[in-house]
Structure 1
Amino acid sequence: MRSEKWISALWLLQLSCFSCGFCGKVLVWPMEYSHWINLKTILDELLDRGHEVTVLTPSATVFVDPSNSSRLHAEVFPVRINQEDLANFFENFITLWTYEWRKLPPLAYGAAMQDMFFQYSRVVKHQCESAVLNKDLMEKLKKGRPTTLCETMGKAEMWLIRTYWDFEFPRPYLPNFEFVGGLHCKPAKPLPEDMEKFVQSSGEHGIVVFSLGSMVKNLTDEKSNLIAAALAQIPQKVLWRYKGKKPDTLGPNTKTFDWIPQNDLLGHPKTKAFITHGGTNGIYEAIYHGIPMIGVPMFADQPDNIAHMKAKGAAVEVDFNSMTTEDMVNALKTVINNPSYKENAMRLSRIHHDQPVKPLDRAVFWIEFVMRHKGAKHLRPAAHDLTWYQYHSLDVIGFLLACVATVVFIVTKSCLFCCRKLGKTGKKQKRA
Structure 2
Amino acid sequence: MENLFMKFSDTWLNICKEAALNQELIARLRKARLNVLIADAIGPRGELLAELLEIPLVYTLCFYPGYTMEKYSGGLLVPPSYVPVILSGLGGQMTFIEREMEDFLQSSGDNGVVMFSLASMINNLTDKTANAIASALAQIPQKVRCSTSVVYTLSLRSLMNNFIEIHLIVGHPKTKAFITHGGANGIYEAIHHGVPMVGIPLFGEQHDNIAHMVAKGAAVQLDIRTLSSKDLLRALETVISNPLYKKNAMWLSTIHHDQLMKPLDRAVFWIEFVMRHKGAKHLRPLAHNLTWYQYHSLDIIGFLLAGVATVMFLVIKCCLLAYQMFVKMGMKKKRE
TM exceeds 0.5? yes
Correspondence for 1:287 among 164, 180, 191: 191
The residue that corresponds to 1:233 in the other structure is: 139
Pairwise CA RMSD = 5.0
From the CA coordinates, give the structure whose radius of gyration is larger: 2
The amino acid that maps onto 2:271 is: I
How far off its partner does 1:293 sit? 1.3
The residue that corresponds to 2:117 in the other structure is: 212
The residue that corresponds to 2:68 in the other structure is: 58
Partner Cα separation in structure 1 for residue 160 and residue 257 of structure 2: 30
Say if 2:291 is the partner of 1:382: no
Say if 2:107 is the partner of 1:198: yes
Identity of aligned residues (%): 48
Is the alpha carbon distance of 1:420 and 1:271 closer, same or farther for their aligned partners in structure 2, counting shifts above 3 Å? Answer: same
- Using CA pairs below 8 Å that are at least 6 residues apart, which structure has the higher relative contact order? 1
Say if 2:155 is the partner of 1:250: yes
Is the alpha carbon distance of 1:407 and 1:220 closer, same or farther for their aligned partners in structure 2, counting shifts above 3 Å? Answer: closer
Correspondence for 2:176 among 272, 277, 281: 272
The amino acid that maps onto 1:309 is: I
The residue that corresponds to 1:369 in the other structure is: 273
Contact kept, 8 Å, 2:178 with 2:197, in 1: the verdict is yes
Partner Cα separation in structure 2 for residue 411 and residue 242 of structure 1: 69
- Where structure 2 has 5 or more consecutive residues not aligned to the other structure, the ranges are 1-28, 42-56, 72-76, 88-97
The residue that corresponds to 1:6 in the other structure is: none
Q: Give secondary structure in 1 for the equivalent of 2:139.
A: coil
Contact kept, 8 Å, 1:211 with 1:277, in 2: the verdict is no
Greater CA drift, 366-375 or 382-391: 382-391
Partner Cα separation in structure 2 for residue 261 and residue 401 of structure 1: 55
Calculate the TM-score normalised by the size of structure 1.
0.47
Partner Cα separation in structure 2 for residue 277 and residue 308 of structure 1: 9
How far off its partner does 1:292 sit? 1.6
Correspondence for 2:328 among 406, 409, 424: 424
Calculate the TM-score normalised by the size of structure 2.
0.58
How far off its partner does 1:291 sit? 1.2
Per-residue CA distance 1:315-342 (angstroms, 9 max, x = gap): 3344668643212212212333455644
Contact kept, 8 Å, 2:196 with 2:219, in 1: the verdict is yes
Structure ranking higher in helix proportion: 2
Is the alpha carbon distance of 1:408 and 1:424 closer, same or farther for their aligned partners in structure 2, counting shifts above 3 Å? Answer: same
Structure ranking higher in strand proportion: 1
The residue that corresponds to 1:334 in the other structure is: 238
Is the alpha carbon distance of 1:405 and 1:344 closer, same or farther for their aligned partners in structure 2, counting shifts above 3 Å? Answer: farther
Per-residue CA distance 1:225-267 (angstroms, 9 max, x = gap): 64443234334x224246859966628xx34364867535434
The residue that corresponds to 2:213 in the other structure is: 312
Contact kept, 8 Å, 2:132 with 2:229, in 1: the verdict is yes
The amino acid that maps onto 1:330 is: R
The residue that corresponds to 2:22 in the other structure is: none
- Where structure 1 has 5 or more consecutive residues not aligned to the other structure, the ranges are 1-13, 18-22, 30-50, 77-188
Is the alpha carbon distance of 1:246 and 1:284 closer, same or farther for their aligned partners in structure 2, counting shifts above 3 Å? Answer: closer
The residue that corresponds to 2:299 in the other structure is: 395
The amino acid that maps onto 1:58 is: T
